Structure 1
Amino acid sequence: MTQGTRNIQVELVNRLEEEDEIDDELQDQYTLAATIAGIGSIEAHRSRVEARAQHRGYLLRSDLLPNPRTITPWQRLRDGRSDHAYIVTMGLDVKTFELILSSGFQRRWEESTIDRTDVSSVGAPRPERRSLDAAGALGLVLHWLCSTMREISLQQIFALIPSTVNRYLAFSLRILLETLKELPQASISWPDQVNEHNEFEKLSEIVTSRHSLLKGAFGSIDGLNLPCQVSDDVEIENATYNGWLHGHFISSVFVFGARGTLIGGHFNCPGSWHDSRVAMPIYNRLRDRTPNGYYLVADTAFPRGTASVEGRIRAPIKAGQKLPHDPTGPSVLRSRLERVG
């Protein structure tokens, strides 16, 4: 090998070493730039979180009691087993609560999988890993149904974060409805008259024991219009719009017996329907399944139906209306209804 060839090889080796050093420096610079960018991204995220935290309307796990299954306001209420406390917060007494719990709600809670995006819908449920047991889930949904409290109050009472509250409410509402559909005591049934067993007469006796002039009254009827959101669908938007009330509503009619139980109704009707159309199923029951002499009590605004149910829905006379000379006439009875009501 000549001296010239050897010099060329040495020069090539030196150049390769210089290029390696340049590559190492560039790599170090890239790594440093990426590190700085990553730190900047983390700090930016932290700043956004802190900014949102100043305006958030929910509680974090660290803001709540440590264990939802131990010492919480709900557990205190549950252990107290006070009928008064149960009725005030959940709308039913201890006996009814336990009846619903044992009639299928607890079984469904323990045997069904709660819907989650990260959990298989056909997987085996693990109720022991849940924040609430079956009684707690029933208490949660009843608190929500029987009050207008904010969700943050439910978080404090049951020591649950918002996502858990929403998930448990959706699941508990579904299994509660399934349970009530199978529970005979939860059925909505019109009174019956079979031979000597006359439910209408028994209900009327309850009324007349307090209001002796209302002989024949076996319950009351009233309507309810619930405001709803305006739908983007034109047909739904038109169906829910009530021109008289100038808003969008869902309409229902409720019939309560003298014992305070729901004995009839027509629910979730379009708000555009006239009151008499919403109440039509009740008119049919009054005409076909109610003995003569029995009636429901309503307020002055409730429609009394067609001639076929005349006298089956009675209301007080309106303000300013004159009474007839006959003191035993139907108008006088309506005025008495106004006084005792």
Structure 2
Amino acid sequence: MDFDVYLLLEMSQDLEDEEEDWEQAAASAKCFVSGEVWQAACILLRADEARRLRAERRNRTRLYLCRPQLLRNPCFDTPWQALHASGNDRAFITTMGFDVATFSAIIEAGFGAAWAATPIPRDDVAPAGKPRLGVHSLDAAGPLGLALHYLNSTMREISLQQIFALIPTTVSHYITFGLRILLGVLRRMSDAKIQWPGSVEEFQALNNLIVQRHPRLTRAFASIDGLNLPA
């Protein structure tokens, strides 16, 4: 089940339980005459306490992080911000599969413009509306980094929440939206296209590169690493 759907179902159940508590309490209160207001108030207080205890029990079983358990501001002093500011090729390749130059090329090829011009899809946001960049938790590099972390790693989303200092629903929205933009950008980038070699000489030159890493692939002109997706 999608994490956002799970949260909505849980919230819906909470509201139903609260309404049931108050309906029962109100029905009981109506049974009292005006001289027994104190007893009616006690029933309402007991209903409120029952609701609080139920919420407490459910919170212990919800395995996700909230804002108080994360770094205060996603735009400053997070592990992601430190990684991005380092500009280190090895760090970028290890975590996202691309070096700094390629990461920047994707941003400039349209990812940054799409992030700035397209509202993040949500049920309470008009698809044709203007994006509110001032309330975004990350700039364009952030969702691209998040999407690439997600594709290049087997880590759970709770780890991504800690790295990017984002709550679960924001992580889910940004991954979905980031992947959608990334796919559109890569389809338009000539360097991202898979093309057949134009000559025997070009094929041999490409195969020489492959054989250096994979000696048994003597008739290949390209190779690709598998995605480290969780089983």
Which TM-score tier does this pair reach, normalised by the shorter chain? 0.7 to 0.9
Aligned partner letter, 1:202: A
Runs of 4+ in structure 1 deviating by more than 6 angstroms, as ranges, are 208-212
Contact map agreement 1:59 1:162 (CA 8 A) in 2:
yes
Q: In the alignment, what sits opposite 2:218?
A: 217
Q: In the alignment, what sits opposite 2:54?
A: 48
Distance 1:93 1:209, change over 3 A: closer
* Partner deviation per Cα, 1:269-298 (whole Å, 9 max, x = no partner): xxxxxxxxxxxxxxxxxxxxxxxxxxxxxx
Distance 1:76 1:208, change over 3 A: closer
Within the alignment, does 1:97 sit opposite 2:100 as a pair?
Answer: no
Contact map agreement 1:207 1:218 (CA 8 A) in 2:
no
Q: In structure 1, which of residues 181, 193, 198 is the aligned counterpart of residue 201 of structure 2?
A: 198
Residue 261 (structure 1) shift? 5.7
Contact map agreement 1:113 1:121 (CA 8 A) in 2:
yes
Q: Report percent identity of matched pairs.
A: 46
Flag structure 1 segments of 5+ consecutive residues without an equivalent. Answer: 1-24, 220-255, 263-341
Distance 1:155 1:209, change over 3 A: closer
Aligned partner letter, 1:201: Q
Distance 1:178 1:210, change over 3 A: closer
Q: In the alignment, what sits opposite 1:63?
A: 69
Aligned partner letter, 1:158: F
Q: In the alignment, what sits opposite 2:159?
A: 153
Q: Which has the higher strand share?
A: 1
Q: Which has the higher helix share?
A: 2
For the residues of structure 1 that align with 2:102 and 2:95, how far apart are their CA atoms? Answer: 14
For the residues of structure 2 that align with 1:208 and 1:141, how far apart are their CA atoms? Answer: 31
Q: Secondary structure at the match of 1:198?
A: helix
Query: TM-score with structure 1 length normalisation?
Result: 0.52
Structure with the greater relative contact order (CA < 8 A, sep ≥ 6): 1 or 2? 2
Distance 1:209 1:26, change over 3 A: closer
* Partner deviation per Cα, 1:92-137 (whole Å, 9 max, x = no partner): 1000000001110011111001111222222211122111111011
Q: In structure 2, which of residues 125, 144, 147 is the aligned counterpart of residue 141 of structure 1?
A: 147
For the residues of structure 2 that align with 1:113 and 1:84, how far apart are their CA atoms? Answer: 33
**Which of 183-192 and 81-90 deviates more?**
183-192
Structure 2 counterparts to residues 1-341 of structure 1, below 5 A: 26=33, 29=36, 33=40, 35-193=41-199, 198-206=201-209, 217-219=218-220, 257=222, 260=223
Contact map agreement 1:203 1:218 (CA 8 A) in 2:
no
Residue 202 (structure 1) shift? 1.2
For the residues of structure 2 that align with 1:63 and 1:133, how far apart are their CA atoms? Answer: 22
Residue 44 (structure 1) shift? 2.2
Task: Output the aligned Cα RMSD.
Answer: 2.6
Distance 1:38 1:88, change over 3 A: farther
Aligned partner letter, 1:200: F
Residue 31 (structure 1) shift? 8.9
Q: Number of residue pairs matched?
A: 194
Aligned partner letter, 2:204: E
Structure whose alpha-carbon radius of gyration is higher: 1
Residue 83 (structure 1) shift? 0.4
Aligned partner letter, 2:218: A
* Partner deviation per Cα, 1:133-160 (whole Å, 9 max, x = no partner): 1101100000000001011100000001
